[in-house]
Structure 1
Amino acid sequence: MTSVSTSLTNAFKRRTQLEQPTWLIVLGILTVTIYAFSRTGFPEVARVSATIAFFTGFWGLYKYGSEVNSHILLRFVWIAAFFQFISWGLSQYVTPEWAEDIPKLDKVTRWFIFIPFAWWIAQRKNAIWLLWGAATAGTLISPWVTGGGLHEIIQGINGKRIDFGIRNAQHTALYFGTILIGICCLVKPLYRKNKLSLIPVALMISYCLLVIYINESRQAWLALIITFLVISSYTTLKYIKKSPRPKQIITIVLFFIGLTTLSTILITNDKIVNRVMLEQKTMNAVLSLEFDKAPYSSFGVRLHSWVAATYFIKAKPIFGWGHNGKSMVMEHTKTFPKWLKGFGHLHNFYIEMLVNYGIVGLIFYLSIWFVVGRMLFKEIKSGKVEKEIGYLFVAILFFWGVMNCFESYQNFWTGVFYFNVFMAGIMAKIWRAKLRPTTL
């Protein structure tokens, strides 16, 4: 009995990161990479690999991860479970006829799968490129795995809206838009590693631009424009501050020439103009603040559901209605036509968070980005993480933030996958900076 007790004690005794078995690290990195590559096209493979990576990752983090500060992220998990339970409990007490039978605590806690994934990716210097590269590759081949292949691309060029079988066109645009942003933010370090990398980079940028254009997702167009303006404005101002007077003038002139060129392309492109003008009546209703006069078009449906959601938010502003709050808005709003009641969500992640989990839930979500961003920029300031990762973080924050104004991505598997893969890479960079420099 004594030997068994000693063995158990040693098994749970915390050790240093350098004592971690190599085979365990390889298994972790391999399963995370397989998950990132296979989730869009081979979900069963992804499910198995994610399960292995998840449990081994938490074990590795507990056993060998004393050097990284994972406590704050684990507290997020506990807080997520707590406020979801409180929200459900209040719904059972106040409106039991509308409440779900059991609390679904996984709806928010599943956002934190990135914690054990990040531990494995942090173990090797270049593993982050395996993770993000695998996710990128899995998306880029989606036309030939989940979609209609080259035929679907040709149909898109000829005017048909495409989605490659990734749920719907909005989710496809999210993925390809992110790849476009990622490549643009990381093109400099890629070029430094290998100048010939510009050839595949140029091809991927062209491919992503083509898909986003023929995909016809207006929120993706808007999100990319806003992201481009924010990042380009910041980098231009930063360059101006460090440059002599003549270069400052040239930079400002080039910036406005580029802005004018982009604006001209957008307002003279028939496809873009026609797609935007489909919502002219809805936009007129918004500008006149006569929301009830908006037609039930694509944006009109969103607008009507957002207005209806405000009444539910006012009724339970702190903890919300529980996970099914979003579907309750659609089902119990009497002014909606019958065909609209089948919609199970509100096409706006922030409004859904307010309806489902109230102000507490929305603050919780925003806190994740704030805390992770703060940790990241601390390491960038110390010189341990490349500044390009900071640009990527900010760019994705704006792109993802705008996209979620028109779709509830993080409440679907597509958004959960997206969030976890991105955050796993960011946290891996942060933790990598804290690990001993002798690790490979």
Structure 2
Amino acid sequence: MQPTMGMAEHGPNNLALKWFGWFGFLSLGVYATFLIAWPDVGGPAETIMALLGLVAVLTWGTRIRASAALWLLVAAVLVQLLSWTLGYFHHPQWIEDNPQVDRLAKLFIFISVAWWLGGSTRRTLLIWSLALTGFFLGLLIHGNGLAEWRNGFAGLRVDFGIRNAQHTAMYFGTGLLGLLAFARRSLASGNWALVRRLAWVLAMALCVAGLIVTQTRGIWLALGVALPLMAALFAWWYLRTHPVRQARLMLLGGFLAVVLVGIPTVEIAYSPIANRVTKELPAIESILAGDFEAVPYNSSGVRFHTWRAATEWIAERPIVGWGGDGRSLAIDETQWLPQWVKDHFGHLHNYFLELWVAYGLLGVAVFAGLAFWVGRGTWLAWRGGVLPSDMALFGVAFFLYWIIVNQFESYNSFWTGVFVHNLVVGGLVTHYWRWQSTQRRDGDSQPQPTSQPE
């Protein structure tokens, strides 16, 4: 499929349409490469890519216009309008002057991403690779450059000047999942094999080291769950698709490689991990004992207390929420929270609670519907032979990883997480749309039944 997707059906020889398609794909590449490293370039590219993609879908995406993605986008806008309107009459002193429908709508930029990818696995891998390269470039441009690494290995927690350490760690974690999922593809023989292998090893080293120096417990936890699942799914698939003897040798070699790399990595990472976890033990012990008032206001304690505050606000308006500023209301207007917490924290460090307190169960339902639709589409595209197995493996691992990390930081509320969400989901959805297109063509090519017996 071409990056113009359905545009080819409306004039495959139209030079203007071809240039329009390639310009859209180019804007996607600039967005993926520079949003982190050079926001002044990547930001406008995102706007151009998203707007042109939406115009293209509405103009030429005859069948895609009926996709659940578009209906969920409409639902997201309506839910935000409803929450704002009802809030305007219920608590006008706390409601924004205008409904900020971009809060949820920005999570649907993946529609444009999927359109410009045109159902191509090669283009998807290219865009994902450009995003990872742009992130590595950003590590040098922002913050203190190489000094960040020196400080990190000296035991300090560093963020490389990309919002904060949690968001930088999220990028490292996502990169690690992708590198592992596509390891066989990257390390295979063929054209540019040496370059690909060296690049893979270097990228892996950067991601593992970055996960250590950014010292983010939520990311470690998510990887601790996602990586074993990833390994189990890969082993299951490999045993089913290869001779038993070959599969056993391959899995044994993989296990030994993990041990050889993992043991020194754990030794290096043990001290910062242990220190970070030990600091939170008093809060965890008080929570498990049910003594909520005794929970200290350390990192975990602040999260716990603000989450308690959020549940009180959710209980008052569980269906439609408090509007786009609900997450800050739950902190600023809760009387029993200390003033210093209100001064230093403006969000809940949990995307799903933020979604619920802002837009109620209606907002949660839209997000759940999107997750179900993407998951089902990924499964169908893989079963249909359109989505490669390694990409499906990455999709499953990322889904679990993303659910967990958003329990401890509101990545989907910030540009950093929206960027990852739209690129990954767009890459999966483009294969689903390609699979649907293939199904329709196959259906159209079948002999049509007649009303009379032959």
Match of 1:290 in 2: 291
Mark the CA change 1:110 to 1:19 in structure 2 (over 3 Å): closer, same or farther: farther
Match of 1:324 in 2: 325
Q: How does 1:265-284 map to 2 (within 5 A)?
A: 269-284=270-285
- Identify the range of structure 1 (401-410 vs 414-423) with the bigger mean alpha-carbon deviation: 414-423
Letter in 2 for 1:305: T
Q: How does 1:212-251 map to 2 (within 5 A)?
A: 212-238=211-237
Match of 2:416 in 1: 414
Letter in 2 for 1:63: T
Mark the CA change 1:70 to 1:417 in structure 2 (over 3 Å): closer, same or farther: farther
Contiguous gaps of at least 5 residues in structure 2: 1-6, 440-454
1:173-210 Cα distance to aligned partner (Å, 9 max, x none): 01111011111101122334554322211111011100
Match of 2:158 in 1: 162
Q: Give aligned-pair identity as a percent.
A: 32
Q: How does 1:346-385 map to 2 (within 5 A)?
A: 346-385=348-387
Q: CA deviation at 1:162?
A: 0.9
Q: CA RMSD in A?
A: 3.0
Letter in 1 for 2:356: L
1:50-81 Cα distance to aligned partner (Å, 9 max, x none): 22222322232233323546532111111001
Match of 2:393 in 1: 391
Match of 2:101 in 1: 105
SS in 1 for 2:93: coil
Contact 1:110 1:416 in 2 (8 A): yes
Q: CA deviation at 1:309?
A: 1.0
Is residue 63 from structure 1 mapped to residue 59 from structure 2 by the alignment? yes
- Identify the range of structure 1 (291-300 vs 15-24) with the bigger mean alpha-carbon deviation: 15-24
Q: CA deviation at 1:135?
A: 0.9
Contact 1:35 1:47 in 2 (8 A): yes
- Identify the range of structure 1 (158-167 vs 265-274) with the bigger mean alpha-carbon deviation: 265-274
Contact 2:31 2:42 in 1 (8 A): yes
- Identify the range of structure 1 (406-415 vs 61-70) with the bigger mean alpha-carbon deviation: 61-70
Letter in 2 for 1:333: T
Mark the CA change 1:325 to 1:390 in structure 2 (over 3 Å): closer, same or farther: same
Mark the CA change 1:263 to 1:70 in structure 2 (over 3 Å): closer, same or farther: farther
Q: How does 1:140-155 map to 2 (within 5 A)?
A: 140-155=136-151
Mark the CA change 1:259 to 1:93 in structure 2 (over 3 Å): closer, same or farther: farther
Runs of 4+ in 1 over 6 A off after TM superposition: 245-265
Is residue 73 from structure 1 mapped to residue 69 from structure 2 by the alignment? yes
Contiguous gaps of at least 5 residues in structure 1: 1-12
Mark the CA change 1:369 to 1:262 in structure 2 (over 3 Å): closer, same or farther: same
Q: CA deviation at 1:92?
A: 2.0
- Separation in structure 2 between the aligned mates of residue 400 and residue 123 of structure 1, nearest angstrom: 23
1:290-312 Cα distance to aligned partner (Å, 9 max, x none): 22211110111001101111111
- Separation in structure 2 between the aligned mates of residue 226 and residue 72 of structure 1, nearest angstrom: 30
Q: How does 1:186-197 map to 2 (within 5 A)?
A: 186-192=182-188, 194=191, 195-196=193-194, 197=196
Mark the CA change 1:17 to 1:181 in structure 2 (over 3 Å): closer, same or farther: farther
